[in-house]
Structure 1
Amino acid sequence: MQNRIHDFLDEAAAARGDTVAIHDYADRDISWSGLKQAVGEAEEALKSFGLKAGDRIVMVFENCISVPAFFFAASRLDAIIVPINARLTDAELSRIFAHSDPSVVMFSTDVSEAAKAHADHFGAEAVEGTFGQAALMRREGAEAEPVFKDGREQVGLMLYTSGTTGNPKAAMLTHGNLNSAALASVKLRGREDNDVTYLALPLSHIYGFIALLSAAVAQTSLRLEPRFDVERLYQALQKDVTLLPGVPQMHAHLFHYTRAHNKSKYDAGHLRFVSSGGAPLDPAWKREAEAFYGLPLQNGYGLTEGAAGVCATLNEIGDPDISVGRPMGDCVLRLDLEAVGAEPDKGIGEILLGGPQVMKGYFRDPERTAEVITDTGFFRTGDLGRFDEEGRLHIAGRSKELIIRSGFNVYPVEVEGVLTDHPEVIVAGVVGRQVEGNEEVLAFVKVAKDSKVSEDDLKGFLHDRLAPYKRPSKIVVATDLPAAPTGKILKSKLIDTFSAQLSEPA
């Protein structure tokens, strides 16, 4: 088995060097052999700034060719990659620098105005090469981490899994974790020589990172976008995209875009695999997606601490299954029926993850690591789920997001799933709020700018679809919701963002 993530790059360059590795936002192509050359140049640049084995390199960027070049270059040097989205503030970056203790910071200035502004603010030095344009900054006094020959022990990537305020935590993923996840992904989707993956998911997120690594494993091509743009996605689907990994929000925006342009379905004939992750699938929405694509919509479940996907479906078109499927690769799943929020009589418990994709721990935080990794090496996900009679996993919700209303458990994902069944709702987020002697259910939905749907309309829609205790006491209708770069709703910001609307009489 490959020992480091850059081994996949070397194999792709040797076997299919002339194949396009990345097609970028400016319609530039770089082959696998060309990317290997860019990696070599990036490696020399990092050496000149003193990066060495065991150091951390924080990378501040939006998706572009320089990012994978510096990823693989850091791997060659046995440095640890800390990818950060450029849209964070200077103050947030400073907190990450203080916590991750990097010796070098890289800013990808090719495409991102935000990264350019950060580079100027921190006084980084411009560098240029086959990889494009970037800027590097040396930080003194960083303490290197131990280095291991075995890739299953050597940390290759650190990802922040919580907000950058308060006490940050960074999941340490080894090369073994990452390699296992990429191999499992390729096995799930299969491989064809002409495969092109559309990737607008940020490479600073585990989902995007593994999609990149999977392309290297399969030695196929990527269309790499700096951020999601529904028109560019539509155009790419007409050209050559065969693999479309995404989150429900991406698919929902595409459906709204095509309806607005009088296109009822995808008919270019290139796509062969479409997947959705990060939110539950509503049966009606799944049917709509499959009617549009003419392909089965595969669902999945993953998390940063498990190196992305740990479960996925491989259903035929029309299959009513809305589970997240069975374990991928060598992942092992168990349920803790005694955990907070569990309902043993319904078979609902906390999902525990075992196998080669489980992270090494949180960076320099043994106490938090001990809280989530059991003595037998299983990771406590904090997610609640159940298995059906065919061994497929169904997600019930987050134990921390569980709403207890009048003594009943309300799982936000269930309410969100029903809301998104409404044709005017693009995405929905549901949270709880403490009120005197109880907890109320609040819903926030995103609709198109020309939508006329009202709160009363949505409450009427839910009336016969949800038990009374599950129905939101307030539904905020908006044309935008606070979201992460992946499109995932930032639930922690919903109440503050819409405080004025929530104060209005229901």
Structure 2
Amino acid sequence: MPLTFDALIAERRAGPGAARPVMTPEGGTPLSLDAFDALVGRAAAWLRAQGIERHDRVAVWLPNHPHWLALLFGAARIGATVAAVNTRYRTAELHHILSSSGAKLLIFESGDRHADFHAMTAALDLATLPDLKALAAIDSADLPPIQGIPVTHCDFDGFDPLPPQDAQPSDPVILFTTSGTTSKPKLVMHTQETLSLHARYCAPAYGFDAPDAAYLAAMPLCGVFGLNPTLGAFAGGAPIHLLTAYALAPAIGIAKAQAITHFFGSDEMFRQMWDADRTVFSHARICGFGAFTPGMGATLRGMAEEGLPLCGVYGASELHAIFAIQPPTHPIDQRLQGGGRTAGGDTVSVRVRDPETGELCAPDQPGVLEVKGPTNFTGYFRNPEATAKAVDPEGYFRSGDAGYLRPDGTFVYLARNGDFLRLSGFLTDPAEIEEVLESADGVARAQVVGVTHEGRARAFAFILPKPGASPDPETVRTHTADRLAHYKVPLRVVPIESFPATESANGLKIQKAKLRDMAEAHLKDHP
């Protein structure tokens, strides 16, 4: 059977998961496989009616909603591609994704309690987006046109379901954003084969195919950490209980009422749920977590010692999330590390290279992780230069992550091999924030480092004023808040006369470690 999304539906129909609901949206009714297949068919027909053809790109800027998955499967059915847009993004970030993807259609929710998506879309400079031809909103039928483009209601009712077409495994199906969205954006491209094959690997590897498995989808579908487990659950036949966005009370209610067995999320999500009601995890078999919050190690260990089946995970947009999970049979200290055993098993090769000598490392020797497997991304969209830098001649993806192999064949992720920041669970390049800071009035240069504030990782900015200028720090922060997702907005903006630097063979090198020390000292003196 071909490795396509329609094949995923056919395989589920032929298996024991056919009779189980595909998903239940928060506050909604369960959706059977037949109902989901019909929804996908109507979504495909609706996309065709909007002028979407094979290999066209559709930008989806939505919270977790059945329409999100229906649009993904529907786009796959006609050979189109979804450009996934984080709902936390604002106009500048949206513009870069639309521009770099060449999206023909943007689908958004008009607004929620956090943001006015219609207003942010209206703020786009559509004259610089020649590929964008159509706009649609899922929650309103009477929105005014935006710069002369009507806003269509994204409503699939009234469309006859389109049956499976001639989609191919090699058809690009999704573009995930990776770091660099404000300067040189990279869009990670996966095909129907790489995305659906990973789902097929995850189903037996992580027990999604157990007859009583049930999954709580709490992470955003726009990223791999939300989408990959959801597709793994679909492939395994496990019902998906879809949270619109993570919130403690509904997460607890659904987990207890539906006997959830599979949880994936941030360390902070598990801490909140554990502290609120430990019976939430009465049926839990796997709690795959990302270590996003500094200083959480002792808390996680205590939870694991009391019986919570926490397991560290590893992933990347280029490799998928839950690419690997630590075996639950390992000792707690090992289980709580990132990394683990890959879902793809023997089809995947993980090696570690010494960044200084270029030699491959022996087990237990740290270096940079390199990965090769059939579910690796197929390249950065329209960016062959970046692809060539990331993938070596043998087909290994150079992850840029530090780690080491264990003698038992599992591996450990240690840290990003560089200065990237993990903010609200998203890997963020400081250069993204620095570029926006440097566009503010009176700012010549900027440097951003990470600090821990009230238990959370936050960005902290230092700026050099332009000659004769005295930029107000709060005005500069507001400038970034209007252009970046809220988690990228610096906690503080501090003007200084010069950055600490040292001479190197390649010229002056800014000392990030000293900047971090300065940031910590500032917070201590100005809490």
1:2-13 alignment runs, 5 A limit: 2-13=2-13
* Cα deviation, residue 371, structure 1: 0.6
Change (3 A) 1:226 1:389: same
Pick one of 294, 299, 303 that aligns with 1:285.
Answer: 299
Q: Distance in 2 between matches of 1:24 and 1:203?
A: 13
Alignment of 1:217 onto 2:259: no
Letter matched to residue 10 of structure 2: D
Which position in structure 1 is the counterpart of 2:140? Answer: none
Which position in structure 2 is the counterpart of 1:254? Answer: 273
Q: Distance in 2 between matches of 1:96 and 1:130?
A: 29
Indicate if the aligned counterparts of 1:332 and 1:353 stay in contact, CA closer than 8 A. Answer: yes
- Equivalent position SS for 2:85: strand
Which position in structure 2 is the counterpart of 1:273? Answer: 286
Indicate if the aligned counterparts of 1:283 and 1:320 stay in contact, CA closer than 8 A. Answer: no
Change (3 A) 1:505 1:43: closer
Q: Distance in 2 between matches of 1:195 and 1:314?
A: 18
Indicate if the aligned counterparts of 2:353 and 2:361 stay in contact, CA closer than 8 A. Answer: no
Indicate if the aligned counterparts of 1:430 and 1:444 stay in contact, CA closer than 8 A. Answer: no
- Equivalent position SS for 1:33: helix
CA RMSD of aligned residues (A): 3.9
Which position in structure 2 is the counterpart of 1:176? Answer: 193
Pick one of 323, 326, 329 that aligns with 1:310.
Answer: 323
Which position in structure 2 is the counterpart of 1:245? Answer: 264
Indicate if the aligned counterparts of 2:189 and 2:378 stay in contact, CA closer than 8 A. Answer: yes
Moved more, 87-96 or 327-336: 87-96
Q: Distance in 2 between matches of 1:501 and 1:282?
A: 18
Which position in structure 1 is the counterpart of 2:463? Answer: none
* Cα deviation, residue 196, structure 1: 1.7
Indicate if the aligned counterparts of 1:342 and 1:350 stay in contact, CA closer than 8 A. Answer: no
Residues 450-483 of structure 1 show CA distances to partners (whole Å, capped at 9, x for unaligned) of: xxxxxxxxxxxxxxxxxxxxxxxxxxxxxxxxxx
Alignment of 1:161 onto 2:178: yes
* Cα deviation, residue 93, structure 1: 1.8
Alignment of 1:333 onto 2:350: yes
Change (3 A) 1:268 1:372: closer
* Cα deviation, residue 247, structure 1: 1.6
* Cα deviation, residue 291, structure 1: 4.5
Indicate if the aligned counterparts of 2:430 and 2:448 stay in contact, CA closer than 8 A. Answer: yes
Letter matched to residue 89 of structure 2: L
Q: Distance in 2 between matches of 1:384 and 1:489?
A: 28
Unpaired segments ≥5 residues, structure 2:
122-136, 138-142, 160-164, 432-446, 457-484, 496-518
Q: Distance in 1 between matches of 2:7 and 2:237?
A: 12
Indicate if the aligned counterparts of 1:296 and 1:317 stay in contact, CA closer than 8 A. Answer: no
Indicate if the aligned counterparts of 1:353 and 1:380 stay in contact, CA closer than 8 A. Answer: yes
Q: Distance in 1 between matches of 2:217 and 2:494?
A: 31
- Equivalent position SS for 2:183: coil
Which position in structure 2 is the counterpart of 1:471? Answer: none
- Equivalent position SS for 1:50: coil
Which position in structure 2 is the counterpart of 1:54? Answer: 55
- Equivalent position SS for 1:356: coil
Q: Distance in 2 between matches of 1:4 and 1:316?
A: 34
* Cα deviation, residue 493, structure 1: 4.8
Which position in structure 1 is the counterpart of 2:503? Answer: none
Indicate if the aligned counterparts of 2:365 and 2:405 stay in contact, CA closer than 8 A. Answer: yes
Residues 177-234 of structure 1 show CA distances to partners (whole Å, capped at 9, x for unaligned) of: 1122212221222222232210111110012111221122112211111211011112
Moved more, 83-92 or 113-122: 113-122
* Cα deviation, residue 396, structure 1: 2.4
- Equivalent position SS for 2:454: strand
Q: Distance in 2 between matches of 1:440 and 1:107?
A: 31
> Which TM-score applies when normalising by structure 2?
0.70
Pick one of 218, 221, 245 that aligns with 1:203.
Answer: 221
* Cα deviation, residue 2, structure 1: 3.8
Indicate if the aligned counterparts of 1:59 and 1:106 stay in contact, CA closer than 8 A. Answer: yes
Which position in structure 2 is the counterpart of 1:95? Answer: 96
Alignment of 1:395 onto 2:395: no
Q: Distance in 2 between matches of 1:124 and 1:274?
A: 41
Change (3 A) 1:88 1:199: same
Indicate if the aligned counterparts of 1:290 and 1:297 stay in contact, CA closer than 8 A. Answer: yes
Letter matched to residue 11 of structure 2: E
Change (3 A) 1:366 1:163: closer
Letter matched to residue 266 of structure 1: T
Identity between Structure 1 and Structure 2 (%): 21
- Equivalent position SS for 1:266: helix
Which position in structure 1 is the counterpart of 2:469? Answer: none
Residues 300-340 of structure 1 show CA distances to partners (whole Å, capped at 9, x for unaligned) of: 11100012233211223863313321233122111111359
1:450-469 alignment runs, 5 A limit: none
- Equivalent position SS for 1:180: helix
Which position in structure 1 is the counterpart of 2:249? Answer: 231
Indicate if the aligned counterparts of 1:74 and 1:81 stay in contact, CA closer than 8 A. Answer: yes
Which position in structure 2 is the counterpart of 1:193? Answer: 211
* Cα deviation, residue 76, structure 1: 0.3
Change (3 A) 1:210 1:371: same
Which position in structure 2 is the counterpart of 1:86? Answer: 87
* Cα deviation, residue 284, structure 1: 3.2
Residues 244-266 of structure 1 show CA distances to partners (whole Å, capped at 9, x for unaligned) of: 1112121122234x1xxxx5x32
Q: Distance in 2 between matches of 1:9 and 1:96?
A: 29
Indicate if the aligned counterparts of 2:281 and 2:308 stay in contact, CA closer than 8 A. Answer: no
Moved more, 363-372 or 216-225: 216-225
Count of aligned residue pairs for this structure pair: 419
Pick one of 385, 388, 400 that aligns with 1:370.
Answer: 388
Change (3 A) 1:45 1:315: same
Q: Distance in 1 between matches of 2:40 and 2:430?
A: 47
Moved more, 494-503 or 195-204: 494-503
Letter matched to residue 287 of structure 1: R
Q: Distance in 2 between matches of 1:156 and 1:496?
A: 39
Indicate if the aligned counterparts of 1:341 and 1:349 stay in contact, CA closer than 8 A. Answer: no
* Cα deviation, residue 273, structure 1: 2.1
Which position in structure 1 is the counterpart of 2:309? Answer: 296
* Cα deviation, residue 36, structure 1: 0.8
Which position in structure 2 is the counterpart of 1:127? Answer: 154
- Equivalent position SS for 2:313: strand
> Which TM-score applies when normalising by structure 1?
0.73
- Equivalent position SS for 1:26: coil
Change (3 A) 1:39 1:284: same
* Cα deviation, residue 401, structure 1: 2.1
Indicate if the aligned counterparts of 2:174 and 2:191 stay in contact, CA closer than 8 A. Answer: yes
Letter matched to residue 179 of structure 2: S
- Equivalent position SS for 2:279: coil
